[in-house]
Structure 1
Amino acid sequence: MWCKLGNLFFHTTGKALKKANSTGIQRNYITTSNLYWCEFDLSEVRSMYFTEDELDKCTAKKGDLLLCNGGDVGRAAIWNFDYDICFQNHISRLRPKSVSLSNVFYLYVIRYNKEKGNLNGRGVGITSLSANDLLSLVVPLPPLNEQSRIVTKIEELFSTLDQMERNLV
Protein backbone atom coordinates (compact mmCIF):
# COMPACT_ATOMS: atom_id res chain seq x y z
CA MET A 1 0.00 0.00 0.00
CA TRP A 2 1.15 3.57 -0.67
CA CYS A 3 0.31 6.60 1.47
CA LYS A 4 1.56 10.04 2.41
CA LEU A 5 4.29 10.31 5.04
CA GLY A 6 2.05 12.69 7.00
CA ASN A 7 -0.53 9.92 7.45
CA LEU A 8 2.08 7.79 9.21
CA PHE A 9 4.02 10.26 11.36
CA PHE A 10 3.38 13.10 13.76
CA HIS A 11 5.51 16.05 12.63
CA THR A 12 6.97 19.10 14.29
CA THR A 13 9.89 21.44 13.75
CA GLY A 14 12.13 22.93 16.40
CA LYS A 15 12.67 26.42 17.75
CA ALA A 16 14.32 29.34 15.99
CA LEU A 17 17.29 30.87 17.79
CA LYS A 18 16.63 34.46 18.84
CA LYS A 19 19.23 36.44 20.75
CA ALA A 20 16.52 38.21 22.80
CA ASN A 21 15.09 34.90 24.02
CA SER A 22 15.89 34.48 27.73
CA THR A 23 12.67 32.96 29.08
CA GLY A 24 12.41 29.38 30.28
CA ILE A 25 15.01 26.74 30.98
CA GLN A 26 18.36 26.68 29.23
CA ARG A 27 18.71 23.41 27.32
CA ASN A 28 21.16 21.89 24.89
CA TYR A 29 19.87 21.66 21.34
CA ILE A 30 21.06 20.27 18.04
CA THR A 31 21.20 22.00 14.67
CA THR A 32 21.59 20.72 11.12
CA SER A 33 25.35 20.81 11.69
CA ASN A 34 24.91 18.01 14.26
CA LEU A 35 22.69 15.83 12.04
CA TYR A 36 24.24 13.54 9.41
CA TRP A 37 23.01 10.49 7.54
CA CYS A 38 22.30 7.85 10.18
CA GLU A 39 24.36 9.58 12.91
CA PHE A 40 24.90 12.67 15.01
CA ASP A 41 28.03 14.69 15.71
CA LEU A 42 27.60 15.96 19.25
CA SER A 43 31.11 17.42 19.65
CA GLU A 44 29.65 20.95 19.56
CA VAL A 45 26.18 21.32 21.03
CA ARG A 46 24.71 24.74 21.69
CA SER A 47 22.18 25.84 24.28
CA MET A 48 19.24 28.25 24.40
CA TYR A 49 16.17 28.88 26.51
CA PHE A 50 13.01 26.84 26.06
CA THR A 51 9.69 27.44 27.81
CA GLU A 52 7.66 24.50 29.13
CA ASP A 53 5.27 24.86 26.16
CA GLU A 54 8.16 24.70 23.68
CA LEU A 55 9.82 21.66 25.27
CA ASP A 56 7.18 19.16 24.14
CA LYS A 57 7.25 20.47 20.57
CA CYS A 58 11.02 20.86 20.30
CA THR A 59 12.38 17.77 22.08
CA ALA A 60 13.54 14.52 20.51
CA LYS A 61 13.12 11.31 22.45
CA LYS A 62 14.84 7.99 21.89
CA GLY A 63 13.61 6.50 18.61
CA ASP A 64 12.50 9.74 16.96
CA LEU A 65 13.41 10.20 13.30
CA LEU A 66 15.04 13.61 12.78
CA LEU A 67 15.43 15.17 9.36
CA CYS A 68 17.09 18.33 8.03
CA ASN A 69 14.54 20.63 6.44
CA GLY A 70 17.18 23.31 5.86
CA GLY A 71 20.69 23.14 4.40
CA ASP A 72 21.28 19.57 3.17
CA VAL A 73 17.56 18.88 2.91
CA GLY A 74 16.47 15.33 3.70
CA ARG A 75 19.55 14.24 5.63
CA ALA A 76 18.18 12.10 8.48
CA ALA A 77 19.05 9.99 11.51
CA ILE A 78 17.31 8.29 14.42
CA TRP A 79 17.88 9.70 17.90
CA ASN A 80 18.96 6.55 19.77
CA PHE A 81 20.43 8.08 22.89
CA ASP A 82 19.06 7.41 26.37
CA TYR A 83 18.41 11.11 26.97
CA ASP A 84 16.21 13.70 25.29
CA ILE A 85 17.57 16.62 23.27
CA CYS A 86 16.00 19.81 21.94
CA PHE A 87 16.34 20.79 18.30
CA GLN A 88 16.23 23.94 16.20
CA ASN A 89 13.75 25.03 13.56
CA HIS A 90 15.65 23.62 10.56
CA ILE A 91 15.09 20.09 11.87
CA SER A 92 11.87 18.11 11.57
CA ARG A 93 10.90 15.44 14.09
CA LEU A 94 8.93 12.48 12.77
CA ARG A 95 7.30 10.28 15.41
CA PRO A 96 5.29 7.22 14.28
CA LYS A 97 1.53 7.31 14.76
CA SER A 98 1.54 3.51 15.09
CA VAL A 99 3.73 0.81 16.63
CA SER A 100 3.56 -1.01 13.28
CA LEU A 101 6.08 1.43 11.75
CA SER A 102 9.85 0.97 11.75
CA ASN A 103 11.75 4.25 11.93
CA VAL A 104 14.79 2.50 10.46
CA PHE A 105 12.75 1.41 7.42
CA TYR A 106 11.48 4.96 6.90
CA LEU A 107 15.00 6.35 7.34
CA TYR A 108 15.97 4.23 4.31
CA VAL A 109 12.81 5.28 2.45
CA ILE A 110 13.73 8.94 3.03
CA ARG A 111 17.30 8.32 1.90
CA TYR A 112 16.06 6.57 -1.25
CA ASN A 113 13.74 9.48 -2.03
CA LYS A 114 16.56 11.97 -1.45
CA GLU A 115 18.86 10.06 -3.82
CA LYS A 116 16.11 9.87 -6.47
CA GLY A 117 15.49 13.62 -6.28
CA ASN A 118 12.00 13.27 -4.78
CA LEU A 119 12.91 15.16 -1.63
CA ASN A 120 14.33 18.53 -2.57
CA GLY A 121 14.16 21.88 -0.92
CA ARG A 122 13.34 25.18 -2.51
CA GLY A 123 15.02 28.52 -2.37
CA VAL A 124 18.01 30.44 -3.59
CA GLY A 125 21.26 29.99 -1.69
CA ILE A 126 19.99 28.07 1.33
CA THR A 127 17.30 25.59 0.40
CA SER A 128 14.51 24.54 2.73
CA LEU A 129 11.90 21.82 2.72
CA SER A 130 8.37 22.81 3.64
CA ALA A 131 6.39 20.66 6.04
CA ASN A 132 3.76 20.25 3.33
CA ASP A 133 6.29 18.90 0.82
CA LEU A 134 7.72 16.49 3.41
CA LEU A 135 4.38 15.24 4.69
CA SER A 136 2.91 14.80 1.20
CA LEU A 137 5.78 12.51 0.13
CA VAL A 138 4.23 9.23 -1.06
CA VAL A 139 5.87 6.25 0.66
CA PRO A 140 5.27 2.49 0.83
CA LEU A 141 3.49 0.95 3.81
CA PRO A 142 4.38 -2.74 3.99
CA PRO A 143 3.51 -4.84 7.06
CA LEU A 144 5.95 -4.45 9.97
CA ASN A 145 7.53 -7.87 9.42
CA GLU A 146 8.22 -6.92 5.79
CA GLN A 147 9.71 -3.57 6.91
CA SER A 148 12.03 -5.51 9.24
CA ARG A 149 12.99 -7.98 6.49
CA ILE A 150 13.83 -5.12 4.11
CA VAL A 151 15.94 -3.34 6.77
CA THR A 152 17.85 -6.56 7.49
CA LYS A 153 18.57 -7.05 3.78
CA ILE A 154 19.68 -3.43 3.29
CA GLU A 155 22.02 -3.67 6.27
CA GLU A 156 23.45 -6.98 4.99
CA LEU A 157 24.17 -5.36 1.62
CA PHE A 158 25.74 -2.28 3.25
CA SER A 159 27.93 -4.56 5.36
CA THR A 160 29.04 -6.46 2.24
CA LEU A 161 29.82 -3.21 0.43
CA ASP A 162 31.80 -1.92 3.46
CA GLN A 163 33.83 -5.16 3.49
CA MET A 164 34.51 -4.90 -0.26
CA GLU A 165 35.64 -1.29 0.20
CA ARG A 166 38.02 -2.30 3.02
CA ASN A 167 39.49 -5.07 0.83
CA LEU A 168 40.26 -2.56 -1.94
CA VAL A 169 42.45 -0.41 0.32
Structure 2
Amino acid sequence: MEERSTVRLGEVITVVNGKNQKAVENPNGRYPIYGSGGIMGRADDYLCGPDTVIIGRKGNINTPIYVTEPFWNVDTAFGLVCDQSQLLPRYLYHFCRFFDFECLNSTVTIPSLTKKNLEKVEIPLPHVNEQNNIVRLLDGIQAQIAISKQMLAKADELIQSRFVEMFGDVRDIDKTVPWHRIDEIASTRLGKMLDRKKQTGNWNRKYLGNHNVQWFKFDLSSLAEMDFAPEDQREFELRAGDILMCEGGEVGRCAIWRGQVAECYFQKALHRIRCDSQIVIPDYLVWVFKMMADAGLLVEHTHAVTIAHLPGVRLKALKVPVPSLTLQNEFAEFVTSVESLKSTTQQQLDRLNTLYASLTQRYFVL
Protein backbone atom coordinates (compact mmCIF):
# COMPACT_ATOMS: atom_id res chain seq x y z
CA MET A 1 0.00 0.00 0.00
CA GLU A 2 1.38 3.38 -0.99
CA GLU A 3 2.26 6.11 1.48
CA ARG A 4 -0.79 8.22 2.31
CA SER A 5 -1.24 11.88 3.00
CA THR A 6 -3.71 13.16 5.58
CA VAL A 7 -6.18 16.00 5.11
CA ARG A 8 -9.05 17.56 7.00
CA LEU A 9 -12.49 16.66 5.75
CA GLY A 10 -13.27 20.32 5.12
CA GLU A 11 -10.58 20.33 2.40
CA VAL A 12 -12.18 17.55 0.35
CA ILE A 13 -15.92 17.65 1.08
CA THR A 14 -18.77 20.12 1.13
CA VAL A 15 -21.05 19.82 4.16
CA VAL A 16 -24.66 20.39 3.11
CA ASN A 17 -26.85 21.51 5.98
CA GLY A 18 -30.30 19.96 6.12
CA LYS A 19 -33.47 22.03 5.93
CA ASN A 20 -37.06 21.75 7.08
CA GLN A 21 -38.97 19.59 4.62
CA LYS A 22 -42.47 21.08 4.92
CA ALA A 23 -42.27 23.17 1.74
CA VAL A 24 -41.21 20.22 -0.44
CA GLU A 25 -42.89 17.26 1.28
CA ASN A 26 -45.11 15.13 -0.95
CA PRO A 27 -46.04 11.47 -0.29
CA ASN A 28 -45.69 10.84 -4.03
CA GLY A 29 -42.56 12.96 -4.43
CA ARG A 30 -39.67 11.85 -6.61
CA TYR A 31 -36.96 12.19 -3.97
CA PRO A 32 -36.53 10.57 -0.55
CA ILE A 33 -36.32 12.68 2.59
CA TYR A 34 -33.58 11.56 4.97
CA GLY A 35 -33.04 12.19 8.65
CA SER A 36 -30.16 10.83 10.69
CA GLY A 37 -32.01 7.53 11.10
CA GLY A 38 -32.96 6.94 7.47
CA ILE A 39 -35.84 7.67 5.09
CA MET A 40 -38.74 9.59 6.64
CA GLY A 41 -40.81 10.66 3.63
CA ARG A 42 -40.77 11.87 0.01
CA ALA A 43 -40.11 15.30 -1.52
CA ASP A 44 -40.48 17.22 -4.79
CA ASP A 45 -36.99 18.69 -4.55
CA TYR A 46 -33.52 17.67 -3.35
CA LEU A 47 -30.54 19.22 -1.60
CA CYS A 48 -27.85 16.59 -2.22
CA GLY A 49 -26.97 14.71 -5.38
CA PRO A 50 -26.36 10.97 -5.68
CA ASP A 51 -23.43 9.22 -3.95
CA THR A 52 -23.57 11.34 -0.83
CA VAL A 53 -22.82 10.24 2.74
CA ILE A 54 -25.23 11.26 5.50
CA ILE A 55 -24.03 11.87 9.06
CA GLY A 56 -26.42 12.79 11.83
CA ARG A 57 -26.20 16.33 13.19
CA LYS A 58 -28.37 15.46 16.19
CA GLY A 59 -29.38 12.17 17.75
CA ASN A 60 -27.94 9.33 15.71
CA ILE A 61 -24.50 10.79 14.93
CA ASN A 62 -22.48 7.58 14.62
CA THR A 63 -24.32 5.65 11.89
CA PRO A 64 -23.43 6.91 8.40
CA ILE A 65 -25.82 6.29 5.50
CA TYR A 66 -24.74 6.03 1.86
CA VAL A 67 -27.33 7.34 -0.60
CA THR A 68 -27.11 6.58 -4.32
CA GLU A 69 -29.87 8.97 -5.50
CA PRO A 70 -30.65 12.68 -5.04
CA PHE A 71 -32.36 13.39 -1.71
CA TRP A 72 -33.54 16.05 0.71
CA ASN A 73 -31.90 16.00 4.14
CA VAL A 74 -33.70 17.48 7.15
CA ASP A 75 -32.02 19.70 9.70
CA THR A 76 -30.90 16.77 11.90
CA ALA A 77 -28.65 15.39 9.15
CA PHE A 78 -25.56 16.60 7.28
CA GLY A 79 -24.93 15.63 3.66
CA LEU A 80 -21.22 15.07 2.95
CA VAL A 81 -20.54 15.74 -0.74
CA CYS A 82 -17.09 14.67 -1.95
CA ASP A 83 -14.70 16.41 -4.30
CA GLN A 84 -14.41 13.20 -6.31
CA SER A 85 -11.15 14.26 -7.94
CA GLN A 86 -9.59 13.73 -4.49
CA LEU A 87 -12.00 11.63 -2.40
CA LEU A 88 -14.25 8.76 -3.47
CA PRO A 89 -17.69 8.76 -1.79
CA ARG A 90 -17.54 5.05 -0.88
CA TYR A 91 -14.09 5.55 0.66
CA LEU A 92 -15.55 8.37 2.77
CA TYR A 93 -18.46 6.11 3.76
CA HIS A 94 -16.18 3.36 5.05
CA PHE A 95 -14.09 5.94 6.89
CA CYS A 96 -17.24 7.32 8.53
CA ARG A 97 -18.25 3.81 9.61
CA PHE A 98 -14.83 3.46 11.24
CA PHE A 99 -14.54 6.90 12.85
CA ASP A 100 -16.11 7.44 16.28
CA PHE A 101 -18.09 10.65 15.87
CA GLU A 102 -19.17 10.43 19.51
CA CYS A 103 -15.77 11.92 20.38
CA LEU A 104 -16.99 15.14 18.72
CA ASN A 105 -20.28 15.23 20.64
CA SER A 106 -20.85 18.82 21.73
CA THR A 107 -23.67 18.27 24.25
CA VAL A 108 -24.41 16.21 27.36
CA THR A 109 -28.04 15.41 26.46
CA ILE A 110 -28.85 14.65 22.82
CA PRO A 111 -25.69 13.67 20.85
CA SER A 112 -24.81 16.53 18.48
CA LEU A 113 -22.22 17.41 15.85
CA THR A 114 -21.24 20.83 14.58
CA LYS A 115 -20.21 21.56 11.02
CA LYS A 116 -17.02 23.18 12.29
CA ASN A 117 -15.91 20.12 14.24
CA LEU A 118 -16.87 17.80 11.40
CA GLU A 119 -14.73 19.70 8.91
CA LYS A 120 -11.71 19.42 11.25
CA VAL A 121 -11.75 15.60 11.25
CA GLU A 122 -8.57 14.23 9.66
CA ILE A 123 -8.79 11.45 7.09
CA PRO A 124 -6.00 9.42 5.44
CA LEU A 125 -6.03 10.28 1.73
CA PRO A 126 -4.20 7.94 -0.64
CA HIS A 127 -4.43 8.38 -4.42
CA VAL A 128 -7.93 7.75 -5.81
CA ASN A 129 -6.69 4.54 -7.46
CA GLU A 130 -5.67 3.19 -4.06
CA GLN A 131 -8.95 4.43 -2.59
CA ASN A 132 -10.77 2.45 -5.27
CA ASN A 133 -8.86 -0.73 -4.36
CA ILE A 134 -9.74 -0.25 -0.70
CA VAL A 135 -13.39 0.39 -1.52
CA ARG A 136 -13.65 -2.75 -3.67
CA LEU A 137 -12.23 -4.86 -0.86
CA LEU A 138 -14.37 -3.37 1.92
CA ASP A 139 -17.51 -3.36 -0.23
CA GLY A 140 -16.94 -7.03 -0.99
CA ILE A 141 -16.67 -7.93 2.68
CA GLN A 142 -19.70 -5.80 3.52
CA ALA A 143 -21.73 -7.63 0.84
CA GLN A 144 -20.77 -11.00 2.35
CA ILE A 145 -21.75 -9.73 5.80
CA ALA A 146 -25.17 -8.73 4.44
CA ILE A 147 -25.65 -12.19 2.89
CA SER A 148 -24.74 -13.90 6.17
CA LYS A 149 -27.22 -11.74 8.09
CA GLN A 150 -29.93 -12.56 5.56
CA MET A 151 -29.19 -16.27 5.94
CA LEU A 152 -29.55 -16.03 9.72
CA ALA A 153 -32.87 -14.21 9.38
CA LYS A 154 -34.13 -16.73 6.82
CA ALA A 155 -33.17 -19.61 9.12
CA ASP A 156 -35.53 -18.37 11.85
CA GLU A 157 -38.25 -17.85 9.24
CA LEU A 158 -37.71 -21.44 8.11
CA ILE A 159 -38.28 -22.75 11.64
CA GLN A 160 -41.40 -20.63 12.03
CA SER A 161 -42.74 -21.93 8.72
CA ARG A 162 -42.06 -25.50 9.80
CA PHE A 163 -43.88 -24.89 13.08
CA VAL A 164 -46.97 -23.63 11.27
CA GLU A 165 -46.76 -26.49 8.78
CA MET A 166 -46.69 -29.08 11.58
CA PHE A 167 -48.93 -27.50 14.21
CA GLY A 168 -50.81 -24.62 12.60
CA ASP A 169 -51.11 -20.98 13.67
CA VAL A 170 -50.94 -20.64 17.48
CA ARG A 171 -53.99 -18.37 17.26
CA ASP A 172 -56.04 -21.17 15.72
CA ILE A 173 -54.37 -24.54 16.29
CA ASP A 174 -56.55 -27.55 15.51
CA LYS A 175 -58.70 -28.26 18.55
CA THR A 176 -57.76 -31.95 18.28
CA VAL A 177 -54.40 -30.92 19.75
CA PRO A 178 -54.78 -30.85 23.55
CA TRP A 179 -54.09 -27.59 25.36
CA HIS A 180 -52.61 -27.58 28.86
CA ARG A 181 -51.90 -25.01 31.52
CA ILE A 182 -48.18 -24.51 32.07
CA ASP A 183 -48.49 -25.77 35.66
CA GLU A 184 -49.89 -29.05 34.26
CA ILE A 185 -46.82 -29.73 32.12
CA ALA A 186 -43.97 -28.01 33.97
CA SER A 187 -42.83 -26.61 37.29
CA THR A 188 -42.13 -22.88 37.39
CA ARG A 189 -40.15 -20.65 39.73
CA LEU A 190 -39.32 -16.96 39.82
CA GLY A 191 -35.68 -16.22 40.56
CA LYS A 192 -34.06 -14.89 43.72
CA MET A 193 -34.65 -11.28 44.74
CA LEU A 194 -31.44 -9.25 44.88
CA ASP A 195 -31.18 -7.58 48.29
CA ARG A 196 -27.93 -5.64 48.45
CA LYS A 197 -28.29 -5.07 52.20
CA LYS A 198 -28.13 -8.81 52.86
CA GLN A 199 -25.07 -9.53 50.72
CA THR A 200 -22.24 -11.03 52.80
CA GLY A 201 -19.93 -12.20 50.01
CA ASN A 202 -19.67 -15.62 51.67
CA TRP A 203 -21.77 -17.43 49.06
CA ASN A 204 -21.09 -15.45 45.89
CA ARG A 205 -22.35 -17.28 42.83
CA LYS A 206 -22.94 -16.30 39.21
CA TYR A 207 -26.52 -15.71 38.15
CA LEU A 208 -28.59 -14.84 35.08
CA GLY A 209 -30.57 -11.61 34.84
CA ASN A 210 -33.14 -10.44 32.30
CA HIS A 211 -30.51 -8.94 29.99
CA ASN A 212 -28.62 -12.24 29.79
CA VAL A 213 -31.58 -14.02 28.18
CA GLN A 214 -32.09 -13.51 24.45
CA TRP A 215 -34.34 -15.45 22.12
CA PHE A 216 -32.94 -19.01 22.05
CA LYS A 217 -29.53 -18.00 23.41
CA PHE A 218 -27.75 -16.42 26.35
CA ASP A 219 -25.37 -13.48 26.56
CA LEU A 220 -22.85 -14.75 29.10
CA SER A 221 -20.29 -11.99 28.58
CA SER A 222 -21.21 -10.21 31.83
CA LEU A 223 -22.57 -12.47 34.55
CA ALA A 224 -23.11 -10.73 37.88
CA GLU A 225 -22.73 -12.43 41.27
CA MET A 226 -24.67 -12.39 44.54
CA ASP A 227 -25.05 -14.54 47.65
CA PHE A 228 -26.78 -17.88 47.21
CA ALA A 229 -26.69 -19.67 50.55
CA PRO A 230 -26.93 -23.51 50.47
CA GLU A 231 -30.73 -23.48 50.80
CA ASP A 232 -30.94 -20.90 47.98
CA GLN A 233 -28.61 -22.97 45.83
CA ARG A 234 -31.03 -25.88 46.02
CA GLU A 235 -34.00 -23.62 45.27
CA PHE A 236 -32.53 -21.57 42.41
CA GLU A 237 -30.15 -24.01 40.72
CA LEU A 238 -30.17 -24.34 36.95
CA ARG A 239 -30.18 -27.71 35.21
CA ALA A 240 -29.63 -28.57 31.58
CA GLY A 241 -33.01 -28.38 29.86
CA ASP A 242 -34.44 -25.60 32.03
CA ILE A 243 -36.17 -22.79 30.15
CA LEU A 244 -35.38 -19.25 31.37
CA MET A 245 -38.11 -16.76 30.44
CA CYS A 246 -38.13 -12.98 30.90
CA GLU A 247 -40.81 -11.91 33.38
CA GLY A 248 -40.70 -8.25 32.27
CA GLY A 249 -39.48 -6.11 29.41
CA GLU A 250 -39.90 -8.26 26.31
CA VAL A 251 -42.26 -10.65 28.01
CA GLY A 252 -41.81 -14.28 26.99
CA ARG A 253 -38.29 -13.98 25.60
CA CYS A 254 -36.66 -17.26 26.50
CA ALA A 255 -33.86 -19.75 25.93
CA ILE A 256 -32.94 -23.26 27.00
CA TRP A 257 -30.14 -23.65 29.54
CA ARG A 258 -27.60 -26.24 28.37
CA GLY A 259 -25.20 -26.03 31.30
CA GLN A 260 -23.03 -23.41 29.62
CA VAL A 261 -21.69 -22.35 33.05
CA ALA A 262 -20.83 -25.06 35.57
CA GLU A 263 -22.72 -23.53 38.48
CA CYS A 264 -25.22 -20.80 37.78
CA TYR A 265 -28.45 -19.45 39.29
CA PHE A 266 -31.12 -16.91 38.30
CA GLN A 267 -32.56 -13.61 39.50
CA LYS A 268 -36.19 -12.63 40.13
CA ALA A 269 -36.62 -11.00 36.71
CA LEU A 270 -36.66 -14.52 35.22
CA HIS A 271 -38.97 -17.52 35.35
CA ARG A 272 -37.41 -20.98 35.41
CA ILE A 273 -39.64 -23.46 33.57
CA ARG A 274 -38.74 -27.12 34.13
CA CYS A 275 -40.65 -29.38 31.75
CA ASP A 276 -42.26 -32.71 32.60
CA SER A 277 -40.37 -34.80 30.03
CA GLN A 278 -43.26 -37.27 29.79
CA ILE A 279 -45.49 -34.53 28.37
CA VAL A 280 -43.46 -31.77 26.72
CA ILE A 281 -39.88 -31.05 25.65
CA PRO A 282 -38.22 -27.64 26.04
CA ASP A 283 -37.07 -27.49 22.40
CA TYR A 284 -40.73 -27.45 21.36
CA LEU A 285 -42.04 -25.26 24.18
CA VAL A 286 -39.64 -22.34 23.59
CA TRP A 287 -40.93 -22.09 20.03
CA VAL A 288 -44.52 -22.11 21.27
CA PHE A 289 -43.59 -19.13 23.44
CA LYS A 290 -41.89 -17.42 20.49
CA MET A 291 -44.87 -17.91 18.19
CA MET A 292 -47.29 -16.76 20.90
CA ALA A 293 -45.15 -13.69 21.65
CA ASP A 294 -44.99 -12.74 17.96
CA ALA A 295 -48.77 -13.14 17.71
CA GLY A 296 -49.31 -10.88 20.75
CA LEU A 297 -50.89 -13.70 22.74
CA LEU A 298 -48.62 -13.35 25.78
CA VAL A 299 -49.55 -9.69 26.24
CA GLU A 300 -53.07 -10.76 27.19
CA HIS A 301 -51.62 -12.52 30.22
CA THR A 302 -49.41 -9.66 31.40
CA HIS A 303 -49.97 -7.16 34.17
CA ALA A 304 -48.95 -3.70 32.99
CA VAL A 305 -48.79 -0.39 34.79
CA THR A 306 -45.86 1.17 32.99
CA ILE A 307 -43.89 -1.92 31.93
CA ALA A 308 -45.49 -5.24 31.01
CA HIS A 309 -44.88 -8.13 33.40
CA LEU A 310 -45.87 -11.79 33.36
CA PRO A 311 -46.33 -12.73 37.04
CA GLY A 312 -45.82 -16.31 38.16
CA VAL A 313 -49.53 -16.89 38.75
CA ARG A 314 -50.40 -15.85 35.20
CA LEU A 315 -47.60 -17.92 33.70
CA LYS A 316 -48.85 -21.02 35.52
CA ALA A 317 -52.35 -20.43 34.12
CA LEU A 318 -51.14 -19.85 30.55
CA LYS A 319 -52.51 -22.50 28.19
CA VAL A 320 -50.36 -23.89 25.37
CA PRO A 321 -50.91 -26.55 22.68
CA VAL A 322 -49.21 -29.86 23.48
CA PRO A 323 -49.10 -32.34 20.57
CA SER A 324 -47.66 -35.84 20.85
CA LEU A 325 -44.04 -36.30 21.90
CA THR A 326 -43.40 -37.91 18.52
CA LEU A 327 -44.35 -34.68 16.73
CA GLN A 328 -42.51 -32.54 19.27
CA ASN A 329 -39.31 -34.56 18.76
CA GLU A 330 -39.67 -34.42 14.98
CA PHE A 331 -39.91 -30.63 15.19
CA ALA A 332 -36.95 -30.49 17.61
CA GLU A 333 -34.79 -32.49 15.19
CA PHE A 334 -35.62 -30.02 12.43
CA VAL A 335 -34.73 -27.09 14.71
CA THR A 336 -31.41 -28.76 15.59
CA SER A 337 -30.47 -29.11 11.92
CA VAL A 338 -31.31 -25.46 11.22
CA GLU A 339 -29.48 -24.30 14.35
CA SER A 340 -26.38 -26.16 13.13
CA LEU A 341 -26.57 -24.19 9.89
CA LYS A 342 -27.08 -20.98 11.87
CA SER A 343 -24.03 -21.73 14.01
CA THR A 344 -21.84 -22.18 10.93
CA THR A 345 -23.23 -18.99 9.40
CA GLN A 346 -22.73 -17.04 12.63
CA GLN A 347 -19.10 -18.15 12.80
CA GLN A 348 -18.62 -16.97 9.23
CA LEU A 349 -20.28 -13.65 10.09
CA ASP A 350 -18.03 -13.21 13.11
CA ARG A 351 -14.94 -13.81 10.96
CA LEU A 352 -16.13 -11.31 8.35
CA ASN A 353 -16.84 -8.65 10.98
CA THR A 354 -13.39 -9.21 12.48
CA LEU A 355 -11.77 -8.95 9.06
CA TYR A 356 -13.67 -5.76 8.23
CA ALA A 357 -12.67 -4.19 11.55
CA SER A 358 -9.04 -5.21 11.07
CA LEU A 359 -8.86 -3.74 7.57
CA THR A 360 -10.54 -0.45 8.49
CA GLN A 361 -8.08 -0.17 11.38
CA ARG A 362 -5.26 -0.67 8.91
CA TYR A 363 -6.54 1.83 6.35
CA PHE A 364 -7.96 4.57 8.54
CA VAL A 365 -5.86 4.83 11.70
CA LEU A 366 -3.76 7.97 11.41
> What CA deviation, in whole Å up to 9, does each residue of 1:104-146 have, x standing for no partner?
0000011111111111232233221111211111112222111
- Aligned partner letter, 2:303: R
Q: Structure 1 stretch 87-96 or stretch 149-158: which is displaced more?
A: 149-158
Match of residue 56, structure 1, among 234, 258, 264: 234
> What CA deviation, in whole Å up to 9, does each residue of 1:147-168 have, x standing for no partner?
01223445667869xx9xx9xx
TM-score for both structures, normalised by structure 1 = 0.85
Give the superposition deviation at 1:99.
3.8
Alpha-carbon distance in 2 for matches of 1:69, 1:7 = 19
Contact 1:5–1:134 (CA under 8 A) maintained in structure 2: yes
TM-score for both structures, normalised by structure 2 = 0.41
1:88 paired to 2:271: no
Alignment of 1:39-50 (within 5 A): 39-50=217-228
Aligned to 2:27: none
Larger proportion of helix: 2
Aligned to 1:8: 185
Alpha-carbon distance in 1 for matches of 2:263, 2:254 = 17
Aligned to 1:28: 206
Give the superposition deviation at 1:90.
0.8
Contact 1:61–1:84 (CA under 8 A) maintained in structure 2: no
Aligned to 1:97: 276
Contact 2:252–2:290 (CA under 8 A) maintained in structure 1: yes
Contact 2:206–2:263 (CA under 8 A) maintained in structure 1: no
Match of residue 73, structure 1, among 219, 226, 251: 251
Give the superposition deviation at 1:101.
2.2
Give the superposition deviation at 1:100.
4.2
Aligned to 1:148: 329
- Aligned partner letter, 2:196: K
Identical aligned residues as a percent: 28
Give the superposition deviation at 1:22.
2.4
Work out which structure has the larger RCO, using CA pairs closer than 8 Å and 6 or more positions apart in sequence: 1
Match of residue 136, structure 1, among 304, 313, 317: 317
Which structure: larger Rg?
2
Give the superposition deviation at 1:98.
3.2
Contact 1:13–1:57 (CA under 8 A) maintained in structure 2: no
What RMSD over aligned residues (CA atoms) do the two structures have, in Å? 2.4
Contact 1:14–1:58 (CA under 8 A) maintained in structure 2: yes
Give the superposition deviation at 1:95.
0.6
Match of residue 291, structure 2, among 94, 112, 118: 112
- Aligned partner letter, 1:116: A
Contact 2:185–2:279 (CA under 8 A) maintained in structure 1: no
Aligned residues: 163
